[in-house]
Amino acid sequence: MSDDTRQMLLDTLERVLTDHCTAERVQAADQGGFDAALWQTLEELGYPLAGLPEQAGGIGLPLPDLCALLRVCGRHCAPVPLAESAMLAAWLLADAGLELTGGVLAVAAADSKQVRITPQGSGLRLAGAVSRVAAARHASAIVLLLENGGACQVVVLHPTDYRLEVSDNLAGEARDDMHLDLTIDAGRLHAAAAGVTLEAFHARAALLRAALMTGALERALQQSLDYARERKQFGRALAAFQAIQQQLAILAAEVVAANAAVDHAAAVAETGPALDEIAVAKIRAGKAAGIACRIAHQVHGAMGFTQEYSLQHATRRLWSWRDENGTEAAWALRLGQRLARAGAAALWPLTTASGAVAD
Amino acid sequence: MSSPGITLEPARLPPVCEVLRSQVREFLSQELAAGRFTPCCDNWLGGFDPDFSRRLAARGWLGMTLPREYGGHGRTALERYVVTEELLAAGAPVAAHWVGDRQTGPSLLRYGTEEQKQFFLPKLVSGEVFFAIGMSEPGSGSDLASVRTRAERVDGGWAITGTKLWTSNAHRADWFFALCRSAPLGEDRHAGLSQFIIDLKSPGIRIRPVPILTGAHHFNEVVMDRVFVPDTRVLGQIGQGWQQVTSELAYERSGPERFMSTFPLLQELLRVVGDTPDERTAIAIGELAAELWALRRMSLSVAAALQRGEAPDVAAALVKDLGTRFESEVFERVRLLIDCAPSLAARRRIDLLLAQAVLHSPGFTLRGGTNEILRGVVARALGLR
Q: How confident is the model at residue B85 (pLDDT cuts 50, 70, 90)?
A: very high
CA angle B379, B384, B385 (to 5 degrees): 90
Average pLDDT over residues A285-293: 98
Residue B125 CB neighbour total at 10 angstroms: 25
Do B293 and A277 count as a contact with CB atoms less than 8 A apart?
yes
Euclidean distance between CA atoms A199 and A353, whole angstroms: 21
Q: How confident is the model at residue A358 (pLDDT cuts 50, 70, 90)?
A: low
Do B382 and A334 count as a contact with CB atoms less than 8 A apart?
no
C-alpha distance from A298 to closest chain B C-alpha (Å): 17
Euclidean distance between CA atoms B262 and B366, whole angstroms: 16
pLDDT digits (tens, 9 = 90+) for B239-273: 999 999 987 777 788 799 999 999 999 999 999 99
Q: Give kind and range of the element (H or E) at residue B274.
A: none
Do B290 and A259 count as a contact with CB atoms less than 8 A apart?
no
Average pLDDT over residues A2-17: 93
Choose among B261, B243, B244: nearest CA to B91.
Answer: B261
Mean pLDDT over each residue of chain A, to the nearest integer: 95
SS3 B13: strand
Choose among A75, A20, A51: nearest CA to A212.
Answer: A75
- pLDDT confidence of residue B2: 63
Q: How far is CA A239 from the centre of its chain?
A: 33
Do B273 and A76 count as a contact with CB atoms less than 8 A apart?
no
Euclidean distance between CA atoms B195 and A181, whole angstroms: 80
Q: What is the CA radius of gyration of chain B?
A: 21
C-alpha distance from A333 to closest chain B C-alpha (Å): 4
Residue B151 CB neighbour total at 10 angstroms: 28
C-alpha distance from A282 to closest chain B C-alpha (Å): 9
Checking if the pLDDT of A1 tops 80, the result is: no
Is the distance from CB of A10 to CB of A68 less than 8 angstroms? yes
pLDDT digits (tens, 9 = 90+) for A305-322: 999 999 999 999 999 999
pLDDT digits (tens, 9 = 90+) for A239-257: 999 999 999 999 999 999 9
Euclidean distance between CA atoms B377 and A124, whole angstroms: 64
DSSP state for residue B63 in the 8-state scheme: S
pLDDT digits (tens, 9 = 90+) for B147-203: 999 999 999 999 999 999 999 999 999 999 999 999 999 999 999 999 999 999 999
How many beta-carbon pairs below 8 A join chains A and B? 198
Alpha-carbon distance values, B8 to B246, B249, B293, B295 (Å): 21, 19, 15, 12
Instruction: Please state whether A60 falls in left (phi above 0), alpha (psi between -120 and 50) or beta.
Output: left
> What strand order describes the sheet that includes A190-191?
A105-110, A141-148, A151-157, A190-191
Q: How confident is the model at residue A359 (pLDDT cuts 50, 70, 90)?
A: very low
Checking if the pLDDT of A304 tops 80, the result is: yes
DSSP state for residue A98 in the 8-state scheme: P
Is the distance from CB of B249 to CB of A300 less than 8 angstroms? no
Euclidean distance between CA atoms A40 and A42, whole angstroms: 5
Checking if the pLDDT of B1 tops 70, the result is: no
Euclidean distance between CA atoms A101 and B245, whole angstroms: 62
Average pLDDT over residues A344-354: 95
C-alpha distance from B200 to closest chain A C-alpha (Å): 38
> Would the CA dihedral through A208, A212, A213, A217 be positive or negative?
positive
Residues in chain B closer than 8 A to A255 (CB atoms): 4-5
Q: Looking at chain A, which runs of residues are DSSP E strands?
A: 105-110, 115-120, 123-134, 141-148, 151-157, 162-165, 175-184, 190-191, 232-233, 236-237
The more confident residue out of A148 and A35 is A35
**A47 — phi, psi (to 5°)?**
-60, -35
Q: Percentage of residues in chain B with pLDDT exceeding 90?
A: 90
Give me the DSSP letters along A321-356.
HTTTTS-HHHHHHHHHHHHHHH-HHHHHHHHHHTT-
Euclidean distance between CA atoms B385 and B380, whole angstroms: 5
- pLDDT confidence of residue B192: 96
Considering only CB atoms, B286 lies closest to which of A246, A264, A333, namely A333
For chain B, the first-to-last Cα distance in angstroms comes to: 22
Residues in chain A closer than 8 A to B374 (CB atoms): 249
Say if strands A236-237 and A232-233 run parallel, antiparallel, or are unpaired: antiparallel
Check: pTM over 0.90? Answer yes or no: yes
Checking if the pLDDT of B298 tops 70, the result is: yes
DSSP state for residue A272 in the 8-state scheme: S
Among candidate residues B85, B137, B248, B252, the one labeled active-site is B252
Considering only CB atoms, A255 lies closest to which of B5, B17, B283, namely B5
Residues in chain B closer than 8 A to A252 (CB atoms): 5-6, 318, 378, 382
Q: How far is CA B291 from the centre of its chain?
A: 21
Euclidean distance between CA atoms B296 and B261, whole angstroms: 13
A105 DSSP β-pair partners: A141
- pLDDT confidence of residue B372: 96
Give this complex's ipTM: 0.96
Is the distance from CB of A106 to CB of A72 less than 8 angstroms? no
Choose from B81, B370, B384 for mutation: most chain A CBs within 10 A.
Answer: B384
Average pLDDT over residues A211-231: 97
Do A261 and B6 count as a contact with CB atoms less than 8 A apart?
no
Checking if the pLDDT of A4 tops 80, the result is: yes
Euclidean distance between CA atoms A245 and A241, whole angstroms: 6
Is the distance from CB of A95 to CB of A196 less than 8 angstroms? yes
Q: Is B31 a catalytic residue?
A: no
Q: What is the CA radius of gyration of chain A?
A: 21
Q: Percentage of residues in chain B with pLDDT exceeding 70?
A: 99
pLDDT digits (tens, 9 = 90+) for A116-126: 999 999 999 99
What torsion, rounded to 10 degrees, do the Cα atoms B66, B70, B72, B76 define? 30
**B193 — phi, psi (to 5°)?**
-105, 145
- pLDDT confidence of residue B3: 67
